[in-house]
Structure formats: C-alpha cells, structure tokens
C-alpha cells in the first residue's frame, strides 16, 4: 500500500492520471460483504479487476494494491484487463518482515484465531511464476521500489 500510494504521487507529479485501488479501503466499501475465504477472495479480485479496467478505460493508470494469494485469481484479473496493459508486481517479502510491519495487528489476530483464512498464516500464498517485477521490501526501500516500477511503466508513456 505504501509503495502504491508513493507510485501514484510520482505518476501524478509526472503528469499522468493515476488512482490507487487499495484492498483495505475496498474491503470497507465495495467489498464489505466479503470474508477472506478462497471464494470471497476470488470475488474480491474479480470486482477490483473490473473497477481497475473501468479506471484504465478512462486513460488513467489503475494501481491495484491487494493480497492476491492464488495464481488462478491473478490470471482471471489479467483476463479481465483484456487489452489493457497489466503488470504483476510480486512483493516477495518474508512473513517475518510482514509481521514486523503490521500496524493494524492483523497477523496477530490471525495467529490468535480471530481471522480465518489469513494469507501466510492459515492460508497459502502461491507465488507468481513469471511476474513483471519482483520487489523484496526487506532489502529495497520504498523510494527504490517506486522508481523500479515507474521505470517499468515508462515505455507506456512514450507516444509514437
């Protein structure tokens, strides 16, 4: 989420329209009826992918910041994107690092049994076989991560 919002700022400062679709915010609004079950996670990804497609169709860049643990759901999101550029960014960060940064206490709640089907604790994560970009935020800081993603997107901004 931190990287997504910093990328959004950098894109806007560079003259591009951009908008972050953040999983936490969407779970309090559009997806407030969904749990963390595998079926509801699929619905969450599908809904967010459709919203991202609508945003992209306006000419803006949709930055989606979600935990998407299943390969099949990420593949479905890419199918929804259709001919819209779609980049999969894999934050390959250790569970220990995620727990250390857990400002909302979600990992603790999951370990205490308060949140079922929590990725990395009581539910699996399927690493992407071929993401467009891999970021290990235990060794790459936010600014470096944002720059890496921005440089990956830069060819999209060149008008022929």
Catalytic positions: 68
Count CA atoms closer than 13 A to 37's CA, side-chain side: 6
Give yes or no for a contact between 41 and 70, defined as CB atoms under 8 angstroms apart.
Answer: yes
CB atoms inside a 10 Å sphere around CB 59: 8
Report d(CA 37, CA 7) in Å as an integer. Answer: 30
Q: Whole-angstrom Cα distance, residue 154 to residue 114?
A: 42
How far apart are the C-alpha atoms of 139 and 128, rounded to whole Å? 19
Coil, helix or strand for 18? strand
For residue 147, count other CB atoms closer than 10 A to its CB: 15
Q: How far apart are CA 147 and CA 55, in angstroms?
A: 23
């Amino acid at each position: 989420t931190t990287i997504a919002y910093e990328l959004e700022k950098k894109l806007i400062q560079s003259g591009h329209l951009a908008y972050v679709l953040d999983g936490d915010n969407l779970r309090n609004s559009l997806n407030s009826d969904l749990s963390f079950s595998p079926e509801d996670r699929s619905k969450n990804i599908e809904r967010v992918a459709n919203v991202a497609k609508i945003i992209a169709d306006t000419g803006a860049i949709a930055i989606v910041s979600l935990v998407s643990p299943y390969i099949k759901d990420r593949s479905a999101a890419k199918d929804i994107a259709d001919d819209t550029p779609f980049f999969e960014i894999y934050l390959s960060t250790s569970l220990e690092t995620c727990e250390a940064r857990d400002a909302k206490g979600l990992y603790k709640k999951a370990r205490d049994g308060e949140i079922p089907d929590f990725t990395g604790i009581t539910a699996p994560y399927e690493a992407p076989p071929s993401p467009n970009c891999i970021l290990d935020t235990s060794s790459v800081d936010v600014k470096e991560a944002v720059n890496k993603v921005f440089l990956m997107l830069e060819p999209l901004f060149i008008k022929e």
